[in-house]
Structure 1
């Protein structure tokens, strides 16, 4: 698409936004002025949103948990593409595509998360697909299709959701099949030759069995080019599918078997040089989406799995559930850290993982008592290898290994209505993780090791070679009180503990950091929260407020620095110390008339290290550098405002205009502030216009994203110095795009 065409589209879309504002203004004024109520204004109220944050169905306004929920209809109207768009709707959340990839997920909630996606490291925000825990971040940037809703639970969820949910949890809930045949086809075309097709449908075979499935293809040219190889850069090439079978032998028994697979052949993202190096081909390129990477453009990520849910309604009060799942994934990729044709700092890599999980749940619902209890087991393996190629020195370091994990847990959570207005909830979970880590690391003379295609490489030095076992145990309690001030306003206070397992550093260099063979300890978060949820103005306005304070201990931080002498890069994962985090969150929805509504959110996070123990390679000692360290991926302020205006047309159809603005204050890429990589404050403006036919079968939309074409960083690498040719690399979020969609359903 040419620049003139883009500018024309931008002008049309911004003009549409202005038109929507002018059209909506009289409607708002009418709602505020005294006027006789009509049938239309009487019906203008918020609808209930049902969530399963506490493993049972509850109204969003009644659940004493800080949770955001987004229905499939809301996400479609906004033109949401994948999970990362949630960060611009949910407060105090960062959800990005990882450095150098197209489908690896990096997530932070309330300052807690994990940026390093290497095998063996575990995220601090749990991702669940239909209550199945996704242990690895590779392939976890899920495209949004064939869903019912997505829930974002903020704060530690260690009681009901278990290990590695110390920041929170994201629940991706797919649709159950209906009793009637359904079909939906959605096609999209947009800038950068974006072409998408999503087809889904389901049908009953008989009174007992129903089948369904969805198939999606996502294609898009790159936002930039690899100026050395000519390949697309920041492109998309994804094929995904899902099949499900539902069996209902009787009124009290339900079985669902589901399988899914995603193939991502998008090119690797090599990033953009933020600082010029010493050579002519290492100068900064004007277009932030371009690169000169010479390592190649090979990348393939495959993730797939199968699961079975069995649900038996024993009585009106008791339900038993079994959730069984197996998942596996493979990644084969190349990342050029220096962004030049020379192999100054190249990283060819592959990852492989698999996991089996089994969860049993007992749910009880009585007049005053509601409870859920269960058992959980996971058996998983994560493995991989990569070369660190230092072309300037003619050296390569091979790193390889695996982590086997067995996790056992028992949990229970009970809520009791002390009075008609006051309720007490108590929960706890005991978790035991057993891990075996194998780490191998060696230096070779030559460009690449034998593992990555150079049989002539000469072995120089073994730096790490061990297999160790460790076990980690933790009890994570939860305690809460909630009080209904009236039928529409509820307040709550709660305490919860989160636990993220310890492990072994897969990059650990035993020569430079001998203590790496001992592994690292778990993280613990103790969180205190107070909240208020209410509906006002005859259910036209909902406001959810939360204030939290977290005591964060044992933070696992990855540090990578050149070893003395410049022969390789040393990596170490340390439990650096402790910190405190506090913040505020406000979410709301308002219905002004049947035609005009708004959704908004505001988040504030103040995070500060109390202790940060940094390992100094030169002295071999730990030094407290907390005064010079900051939290990564945690803007102090963030917020969004979404306005929706719907107008009925004479033929019975309607058009819906949705305008969204998201704001994020400045944030840091790493714990050490770096002006070359840290992102300044910015705002993103989106606009969607959707026409829906009178029969509700046809829908046509135009979705504009990042209309002001804001350039903003979402990740980076920092390897300054002559040996690395000052490889300071940044990765950027999508530029301005416009997408047209057509959907047919029956």
Structure 2
């Protein structure tokens, strides 16, 4: 099926290249048409020196970006395409305040200003704090972030709480993606890119009328690329790209005041992904003979003739030896129906949507070529339904938006995790006695945890925001939101031995005197939990903005926001009786207080734009990741940290010096810390040993000393949040000269763009072993663009900088750190046509 669709898309792309009569880019014409009413509303002064204006829908209506009193990054389609940032994961290279970290599509964190999602947690029971919207439809699963952008017009990254304008929780911000819409004039575009690593990408879109009142738009995209890591075990390159996307939109305009749009989309990925490489080891407090080097030596000694060693200790050799199957099968799609009815000074909008997500993974959770965790997979199926009604009113004195949002979601998951032949020797206390259970592979080999779970989530919200224009310069903008959430979960883990015998209990009464059962229960424990919780929340924000001059807008914002309650869906930590601690079943909502001040300016006859914002966000009961050291709980669970603060300053600058030269520079300073987290998980260097007795103050100077006692919990107050770079910058410039190619007038151009991120920590509790070093990436492009034609060559990560996308702590407290290296230097060429 995929092969047939891919062949069809490639053929359509090639056919589009051959179409005659190429004329001015349709996207530009459409953008100008959309900009006209908004520019007129904002006043002629809002149109720049070159006659262009950036139109956004951040406040659920079309308006000039510089007139919106909030921190917003607007990334146009041409910027996305020219810089090669074709999904949200890559978009962070253009938006410094955006952080996206992913070990696979499901385990992806999208954060703004360090806030949004618990870092490094695979769970369905919590909400994203950064809402992802595509054509006004909320995408509940962040897995959508890993797909290619498909025929988009622009991406808006809204920073700070947006709950009084957006239907679902948006504690930290929103990513608002707008696709190109059907048109009543015939137009189309095609794009073909090839590069090293067997990179191939094709995109095609066509649009036009079916009648005087009906128009259609069809779009498709494919991306494939060889993996960047070579697995010496499977003799395959892994972590490849293999994306397919399709979209169809049908627009019916029976009158000038009514527009009905039916949209459907489907995207699929099927790469051999997502694997890691050996990065380093660091000593934990586990006994030295139970740490990585000793366990590898013991595994070799136990199997005569085996001389296991990682294929390279240099992660940038990009070699691995993972022995479990890898897969990241990922399908997502849906249908939406949008009705927009103009009612004089107002408009009524209805958006009805259904979306699905189908996830079929296979992983190697021990990060080695030894058979420790032989199988690890948690396939999931999600269905979500949403309905939003929104009314926009505009007048000379007052504008307002009021909306009603309903959401229903169900996720079913069927998980399997199984221990391999080397598990006993790796995980249990070693002994020279051949009768010791650690030396008997059957102790753990085949031990299997089979997980069945589901989540039911219902949400409803009434929200609104008004803009009172007190004077032509002064506007007061209050907003409110009333929200209800209910979550019901089910989780059952059935544990069976390698002989297929079910382990009914791991309570002390069952394990006392049974060394084998005790060892097995130390890996997997049977569990049955049915968490359920509901909550009402009332939140609000208040914005005051003042136009000091024609091109100078200042604003201040206060917001009291929230992120709704969560439930732990992947198993619970154990109590003193080795039973699930039911008190951790639910997680309290986050309570957010946000302050922000900003300045938006234009000068040099509006050829230059400079925007500045400063913010402080305090979160009480921050939903944080807690990782356990056992194989069965390595994915962790959710808990509340007492208080978190994120504060910083952001600056965005752009200049159109002339028709020949443009440049931009964006920067962000983000200081995101746990203000108070006294019961946090300990980092690897303080884990693995026997626990201190209850009430005894631990000696933290013994970090990384094998055989030392380990704290039961750690106080990480004052430490930085994981995944956040304190400094982040992006920049770009382009210069062109007039030229002619193939009898077409145009420009030869040269562009450069790049980004920098300072060091950050990749563990839930910051560790000395999981510091990701600072890095800077630089990209170049050069080509010709003319009437309906753009052809250019590009090189990304031009200086072949070595950097890490993510570091992960291996389970078992053995001190192994694995990672996913970022892309090496890539290069290629792109041809784009429009008609």
SS of structure 1 residue aligned to 2:138: strand
From the superposition, tell whether residues 624 and 204 of structure 1 become closer, same or farther in structure 2 (CA, over 3 Å).
Answer: same
1:378 aligns with 2:383: no
1:314 Cα offset (Å): 1.4
Contact 2:573 2:633 in 1 (8 A): no
Q: Corresponding residue for 1:352?
A: 381
- Aligned match for 1:525, one of 592, 596, 608: 592
Give the CA deviation at 1:165. Answer: 1.3
Aligned equivalents of 2:405, 2:693: Cα separation in 1: 44
Post-superposition offset of 1:113: 2.2
Measure, in 2, the Cα distance between the counterparts of 1:311 and 1:60. Answer: 22
Query: Which residue is 2:541 aligned to?
Result: 478
Equivalences, count:
691
Residue among 762, 784, 797 paired with 1:706? 797
SS of 2:567's equivalent?
coil
Give the one of 319, 322, 339 matched to 1:293.
322
Which is worse superposed, 58-67 or 613-622?
Answer: 613-622
TM-score (norm. length: structure 2): 0.79
Aligned to 1:55: 60
**2:818 equivalent to 1:742:** no
Contact map agreement 1:281 1:340 (CA 8 A) in 2: no
Give the structure with the higher percent helix. 2
Q: Where does residue 196 of structure 2 map in the other structure?
A: 191
Equivalent pair of 1:214/1:241 in contact (CA under 8 Å): yes
Q: Which of 662, 666, 676 does residue 759 from structure 2 map onto? A: 666
Structure 1 residues 445, 282: CA separation in 2 closer, same or farther (over 3 Å shift)?
Answer: farther
Match of 1:281 in 2: 308
Please tell me whether the aligned partners of residues 120 and 383 of structure 1 are also in contact (alpha carbons under 8 angstroms): no
In the alignment, what sits opposite 2:572?
509
Does 1:716 find its partner at 2:807? yes
1:64-89 deviation line (CA, Å, top 9, x unaligned): 01000011122222232222222122
Please show how residues 293-332 of structure 1 align to structure 2 within 5 Å.
293-315=322-344, 317-332=345-360
The question of whether the paired residues in 1 share the 8 Å contact of 2:315 and 2:821 is answered with: no
State the match for 1:3 in structure 2: none
Spell out the pairing of 1:143-542 with structure 2 (5 A cutoff). Answer: 143-275=148-280, 277-278=292-293, 279=296, 280-283=307-310, 284-288=312-316, 289-315=318-344, 317-345=345-373, 346-391=375-420, 392-393=423-424, 394=444, 395-446=447-498, 463-509=526-572, 511-512=574-575, 514-516=581-583, 518-542=585-609
Kept after mapping to 2: 8 A contact 1:254/1:311: yes
Q: Distance in 1 between matches of 2:213 and 2:239?
A: 46
2:77 maps to 1:72:
yes
CA–CA separation in structure 2 for the residues paired with 1:112 and 1:406:
23
Once the two structures are TM-superposed, the CA of residue 285 in structure 1 deviates from its matched residue by 4.2
Inter-partner Cα distance in structure 2 for 1:531 and 1:628: 27
Question: Distance between the aligned counterparts of 1:190 and 1:615, measured in 2?
Answer: 45
Paired with 2:566 and 2:451, the residues of 1 have a C-alpha distance of 17
Query: Could you say if the C-alpha distance between residues 117 and 561 of structure 1 is closer, same or farther in structure 2, counting changes exceeding 3 Å?
Result: closer
2:818 is aligned to 729
Who is 1:106 aligned against? 109
CA RMSD of aligned residues (A): 2.5
Distance change >3 Å, CA 448–CA 76, structure 1 → 2: farther
Q: Structure 1: which 5+ residue stretches go unaligned?
A: 1-41, 451-457
The offset of 1:337, in angstroms, is: 2.4
Q: Secondary structure at the match of 1:113?
A: coil
Q: Deviations over 1:87-129 (max 9, x none)?
A: 1222322123x11x25764211111022324323322211110
Relative to 1, partners in 2 of residues 1:687 and 1:290: Cα closer, same or farther, differing over 3 Å? Answer: same
1:580-620 CA distance string (max 9 Å, x none): 22100000111111110111111001122221132678768
The answer on whether the counterparts of 2:105 and 2:330 sit within 8 Å (CA) in structure 1 is no
In the alignment, the residues of structure 1 paired with residue 203 and residue 170 of structure 2 have an alpha-carbon distance, to the nearest angstrom, of: 31
Alignment of 1:629-648 (within 5 A): 629-648=719-738
In the alignment, structure 2 segments of 5+ residues that lack a partner are: 1-46, 282-291, 297-306, 425-443, 503-516, 682-690, 696-711
For residues 718-739 of structure 1, the C-alpha deviation after alignment (integer angstroms, 9 at most, x for no partner) is: 136xx56544211222111112
* CA 135–102 in structure 1, closer or farther in 2 if over 3 Å, else same: closer
Q: In the TM superposition, what are the counterparts of 1:591-670 in structure 2 within 5 Å? A: 591-614=656-679, 625-627=715-717, 629-650=719-740, 652-670=745-763
Q: Secondary structure at the match of 1:674?
A: coil
* Shift, 1:682, TM fit: 1.0
Q: Residues 580 and 609 of structure 1 are in contact (CA less than 8 Å); yes or no, is this contact kept in structure 2?
A: yes
Displacement after TM superposition at 1:416 (Å): 0.7
Aligned to 2:134: 129
In 2, the alpha carbon distance for the partners of 1:489 and 1:418 equals 18
Q: Is the 8 A contact 1:44 1:592 kept in 2?
A: no
C-alpha separation between the residues in 2 aligned to 1:387 and 1:447?
16
- Rounded to whole Å, the distance in 1 between the matches of 2:501 and 2:190 is 48
Q: 1: CA distance between counterparts of 2:500 and 2:264?
A: 38
Worse overlay, 609-618 or 61-70: 609-618
Give the whole-Å Cα distance in 2 for the aligned partners of 1:140 and 1:579: 26
CA distance in 1, matches of 2:467, 2:112: 26
Secondary structure at the counterpart of residue 140 of structure 1: helix
The farther-off stretch of 550-559 and 646-655 is 646-655
Greater Cα offset, 260-269 or 160-169: 160-169
Query: Quick one: distance in 1 between partners of 2:806 and 2:583?
Result: 26
Cα distance in 2 for residues equivalent to 1:567 and 1:741: 46
Question: Aligned to 2:81, what secondary structure does the other structure show?
Answer: helix
- Judging by fraction of residues, say which structure has more strand: 1
Moved more, 134-143 or 405-414: 134-143
Contact 1:184 1:743 in 2 (8 A): yes
1:697 equivalent to 2:749? Answer: no
Query: Contact conserved, 1:343 with 1:389, CA < 8 A, in 2?
Result: no
| Alignment partners' CA distance in 1, 2:89 and 2:651 | 20
Match of 2:773 in 1: 680
Cα offset, 1:447, TM superposition? 9.8
447 and 353 in structure 1: CA distance in 2 versus 1, 3 angstrom threshold: farther
Instruction: Kindly indicate whether the alpha-carbon contact (under 8 Å) linking 1:166 and 1:498 is maintained by their aligned counterparts in 2.
Output: yes
Instruction: Say which one has the larger Rg.
Output: 2
Counterpart CA distance in 1 for 2:647 and 2:499 is: 48
State how far apart, in whole Å, the 1-side matches of 2:139 and 2:500 are. 32
Aligned-residue offset at 1:172? 1.1
Q: Give the aligned partner of residue 562 of structure 1.
A: 629
Distance in 1 between the 2:612 and 2:468 partners?
23
- Structure 2 distance, partners of 1:107, 1:632, is 12
DSSP 3-state at the match of 1:203: strand
Contact 1:426 1:478 in 2 (8 A): yes
- Per the alignment, residue 302 of structure 2 pairs with none
Query: 1:138, CA displacement in angstroms?
Result: 2.0
Distance 1:447 1:644 in 2: 66
CA distance in structure 1 between the partners assigned to 2:415 and 2:717 by the alignment: 34
Q: Tell me the residue number matched to 1:574.
A: 639
